[in-house]
Structure 1
Amino acid sequence: QGEFPLSQLVERLTAALDIEKVTKKFFKEFAQKRTEFVELIDGIPNEHERRWLASVLMNRLMFIWFLQCKLLLDKGNSRYLLDQLAASGRRGQDLFYSEFLQALFFEGFAKPAYERSAATQALIGDIVFLNGGLFLQHSLELEYGASIRIPDKAFANLFKLFGSYSWHLDDTPGGQDNEINPDVLGYIFEKYINQKAFGAYYTRPEITEYLSERTIHR
């Protein structure tokens, strides 16, 4: 009695190795997309700062992708970011960052609905207010402001990567080799955001907690 079944131990170890394998695979592909993303940023002369901004934006978008997979955006739209990218393209060329994402980040997630303008509400749809610092303006965004220009194809390329994986909102692996769970999100945040010199520090428990309803205020 009290012994841990060998079969269960093997199963847990195998699951842990599978998660690690997927995490490393996704991180490698994410890093490549980050390199491509950096090359498309205009308006920031310093390459180091462009890399940092790319990390901030891509991590925000990865978090939002989790939210849409949990059907928490715009009345349960699981294609929210893709639909908004397409809608932005119909309004004009390369407006997704300057028009839509600016409103979504700093007027949508960062403010309760009653503080948003009617124009913002119409643009972003039914979006939850997140009580956290992830969607406050970064120092680079404050410094360069409207000078920052990023073409829509940078986001289309990133969303293609996200869409090639199956996103799960718990840490129980399902046996597929393309599953992403909050552990992967935490790993990416640790690699790209845990840099105290930039005034940003995130830990995996905090990121995982973001994905629970306790952090979402309707």
Structure 2
Amino acid sequence: MLPTAAYFEFLPFNVERSCVIDEQTVDLSGLEVGRFYELVVTTFRGLYRLRLGDIVKVAGFHHTSPQIEFVMRAPKSSAEIITEKDLLSAMGNFQLLLRDELAAEVLEFSSFMDLESKPKKLKFFIEVKDESALLQNDKFTESIDALRKCCSVLEDGLGGIYQVMKARGEVGHMSVSIVKPGTFDGLLEEAIKNGAPASQYKPPKIIRNCKLVDYLEMSAVLSL
């Protein structure tokens, strides 16, 4: 980080509980290596002070400047049972198994918690490189069986809170949709139309906009 670019503050963050543990910010000199923080930035002239919603980990220091790693986006509320950290960890295991089982590569993914469903249900939308390989007629049954195995590993890695709520029946079995090529490029184009700068756009890992979910569902070529 460049200390002269803006005024940076940090809110100590508990990754396991997915919450800020102290509303009192610390500055650059108070950071501890290995700890997690939510980033707060005050613009150079002091007009705006912003909680960016980025959770970072302090990896070390270069002289007096902290070296930080982006970890995830902060949860929007304490009611969210899945964090970006959970998703990225589970998706990492899914990607490894998918590569081994089907020689396929995940290009991008997003998730959505359907609160209207009874019980509520987690939905994954995944874009895979050359998705047609999953749909070959002569290997279709084998591909579906392998994909179901990968999805089971994905769901098993979704964190303690999710697993407890699923065991209680408060969350149903998740669904996974493979979407057609270019689907996530379409999300980028829509975001740019709505004013988002292309250089700063990051595909959402947790979707909260139902219109985006409708678009992803219409783009699905295979759903489990």
| Alignment TM-score, normalising by the size of structure 1 | 0.26
| Alignment TM-score, normalising by the size of structure 2 | 0.26
Q: Which has the larger radius of gyration?
A: 2
